[in-house]
Amino acid sequence: MKYFKTIMIMTTFILITMAACSNPNTANTQQPLVVTPTIEITLTPQTPTVESNTGKESEAQQDYTKGVELLQQGNLEESIKLLTRVIELQPNNIDAYIKRGVAKDLKGDAEGALQDFNKAIEVSPKDPAAYNARGNHYANLNSLELALADYNKAIELNPNFAQSYVNRATVYSMAGDYEKAFSDFDKAQELDSNLMSIYYNRGLTYGDQQVFDKATSEFEKYLELNPNDPFAYFYNAGAYAELGNYDNALFNINKAIEIDNQIDKFYMLRAKIFMQKRLNDNAIADLKKVMDISTDTDLRTQANDLLQQLGVAVTPQTP
C-alpha cells in the first residue's frame, strides 16, 4: 500500500513557494502563510514605496498594511481593492503591484497577476523580488523555463536571495533535475538556515525520489520551525508509513488532524495506517468520516472500496 505517492496525487503535487516581499533580506526570515497544501506565501506588511505627498503616503501605508493582512487571511477581493487604491495613490509602488499580483493569482486571475508582475518589473527592473514573484507565477502555470529565467535574474540581482534559490530548486525538482535542485537547496540553507521552505520543499523532493528516510528528516526540521502546519505532519506521516514506521506515521497524522479536523485526505491516510496496525474499527470510522466530509469523487471511491474490503456495506451517497 503506497502512501506518499497517494498523498501527492491527492493534493496535486506542486512544489513551489511564493515569496512576495520586496526586500529579499526581510523575506528570508518571515514565516510563510500556507494557503494550500502545496503553496506557501511569505507576506510581510512592510513599508511600501513612498512618494512625496505626506497625506497620500500615510493613507497608502494604512491601505497597504490592511491589504496585506486581508491577503494573509484569504480575503482576496477586499485585498485587491485596497492594494488597487494604494497603486492609485502611489503608481510606482512595486510592493503593491507584487502583492496584488499574488492575490490575483490566488483568485485565479492569471492574466491580471502577470500584468501586475510585469508592471512591477517595468517600474523597478533591478528589483529581484519582482522577478521572483513572476517566477512563482510561471512555475504554478508549469511554465518551467520562464520560471527558471526569472529566478536566475533574481539571483543575478541579489546572490544572497535565499528564497529564490529555494524556488529555483523546486522548479528543478519539478523538471526532474534533482542534482541542481539539491545544490540550490544547500545554497539556500547556507544563506539562511532558518528559512522554513528549504526543509519543506526538500522533504517533498526526497519523497518524490522515494528517499523517505531523508524526507522525514527534512519534515522534522521544518516542524521544529513551524510546529502548527498540518500538511507538514501529513506528508511526514506518509513518508513514515512508506518506511513501515506506523507508530511515527500515526503520531504525525494525529497531529495533522488535531490542527485541522476537516481535511478528508488526513482521514484517508490515517485509515490506511490503522489498517496496517490491524486497528480495523478505527480505520472504518475514518473511512466513514471521509465519506461524510469529502466531495472528491476519487477519494470517496477509494474509501468505499476499502470499507468493502473491511466487510462494511456502504450505500453510495451524493456528498
pLDDT(37) > 50: no
pLDDT(104) > 60: yes
Domain ranges of the chain: 11-225
Write the CB contacts of 309 (distance below 8 Å, at least 6 apart in sequence).
Answer: none
The pLDDT-based confidence of 53 (bands split at 50, 70, 90) is low
CB 102 within 8 A of CB 120: no
The pLDDT of residue 314 is: 73
The pLDDT of residue 318 is: 58
Kindly give the residue spans of alpha helices, DSSP state H, lying in 124-194: 128-140, 144-157, 162-174, 178-191
Nearest residue to 13 (alpha-carbon basis) of 195, 205, 273, 290? 205
Percent of the chain with pLDDT over 70: 81
Burial of 285 from C-beta contacts in 10 A (0-12 / 13-18 / 19+):
middle
- Taking residues 162-182, report their average pLDDT: 96
- DSSP assignment of 17-60, as one string? EEE--S-HHHHTTSPPEE-SSSEEEE----PPPP-S-HHHHHHH
Burial of 79 from C-beta contacts in 10 A (0-12 / 13-18 / 19+):
buried
- Which residue, chain included where needed, has cell 495613490? 89
Do the bridges between strand 33-34 and strand 16-19 make them parallel or antiparallel, or are there none, so unpaired? unpaired
299, three cell numbers: 477519494
- Taking residues 56-65, report their average pLDDT: 88
Task: Please write the tens of the pLDDT for every residue from 227-264.
Answer: 999 999 999 999 999 999 999 999 999 999 999 999 99
CATH superfamily of 11-225: Tetratricopeptide repeat domain (1.25.40.10)
The pLDDT of residue 33 is: 28
Task: Please write the tens of the pLDDT for every residue from 107-133.
Answer: 999 999 999 999 999 999 999 999 999
pLDDT(42) > 50: no
- Which residue, chain included where needed, has cell 480575503? 75
The pLDDT of residue 57 is: 76
